[in-house]
Amino acid sequence: MTDSQEAILINNGTLTDRPLFLKLRRWQWWLLVALNILFLLAGQTAAVILGRFYYDEGGKSKWMATLVQTAAFPILLTPYFFLCFSKDPFTASTTPIGTISVLYFVLGVTIAFDNWLYSVGLLYLSASTYSLICATQLVFNAVFSFFFNSQKVTVLILNSIIVLTLSASLIAVNEDSDAPSGVSKWKYFLGFLSTLGASALYSLLLSLMQLSFQKVLKKETFSVVLEMQIYTALVATCVSIVGLFASGEWKTLHGEMNDFGKGRVAYLMTLAWTAVAWQICSVGVVGLIFVVSSLFSNVISTLSLALTPIASVIVLHDKMNGVKIIALLLAFWGFASYIYQNYLDDLEAKKTQAEVNEAV
């Protein structure tokens, strides 16, 4: 494929020309995709493990756990400014600044609420159970992508929806749950519902972000990816700080630090590295939305959620009973179905592109 014929896979497998990636050879495009996948997998797995560690060692603030999910956004300013200085002037957005500001504000507030729901879920669930429930986001994303991003519901996608729903149902009815110490059945159920709701809202956010790139921002440089991440994270961080003070949880933070099981330094390092891990994950998520699609981004997120239970067994010594093993296998089955559907879409897209090239 020549430089003039280079294209990328977006909109769930459809080949569409994108100016930024016309300058990249195919191996360079795949390298960019692989880098974003690494960011997402490593960042999300580490963040979930550290988040559960924070609660296990004495942390109790849901709003602090929410705050660290976006608070490290300033680390993105360096690459953002570098890209701004080197970007193509012909790709400047014509969208009114007021429209962009409203978009970022709405997305930021929604992200803050979604992060809070995740924090509640992780407080009342083990890391492995939490991750298996989060895998249902692929089900919700299939629905939202159908309505917002023209995603086709094939037999393979329908199969994934069914098996992932079964996986979540097994966790919901699992009587031999490994809920953290002191968590009642009611709080366990609350954690389940919060995580399920957060997964649905997260999937909606992914589809809305992809729609925003296509219909509102209309910019073809990677700087727009970082721009969205920075400004929405800024709004979400401000909302989290307001929530931290409005709830009164800020009064307990000093006591948390003093009573933290591993010590004061470990308390601060846990929060700091959790913040960094979530930001690395976010770069991978938004990067894959821009480079590929929201569906592909969610597929990789789901892979991480399927890997996290294994990591939590090794690091946090979560117990893995028979029901959870079956749920994990179903999650991998659902993930494999989505991957295979993406593979088929890729083959079809390549065939279509080849026919177009021959016609030219």
3-39 pLDDT tens trace = 333 333 333 333 333 444 445 667 777 888 888 889 9
**Res. 175: pLDDT tops 80:** no
Determine the structural domain holding residue 148 and report its residue range: 3-359
Q: Which amino acid is at 180?
A: P
Q: pLDDT band at residue 201, thresholds of 50, 70 and 90?
A: very high
d(CA 76, CA 281): 12
- Summarised one tens digit per residue, pLDDT across range 139-149 is 787 777 777 76
Please report the DSSP string for 246-273 in residue order: HTTGGGGHHHHHHH-TT-HHHHHHHHHH
Which pLDDT score, from 0 to 100, does residue 148 have?
Answer: 73
Span 202-207, average pLDDT: 84
Q: What is the pTM of this model?
A: 0.79
d(CA 155, CA 182): 43
* Of residues 306, 337, 336, the one with CA closest to residue 324: 306
220 exposed, middle or buried (CB, 10 Å; 0-12, 13-18, 19+)? buried
Structure tokens of 182? 């002191």
Which pLDDT score, from 0 to 100, does residue 15 have?
Answer: 33
What's the total number of domains in the chain? 1
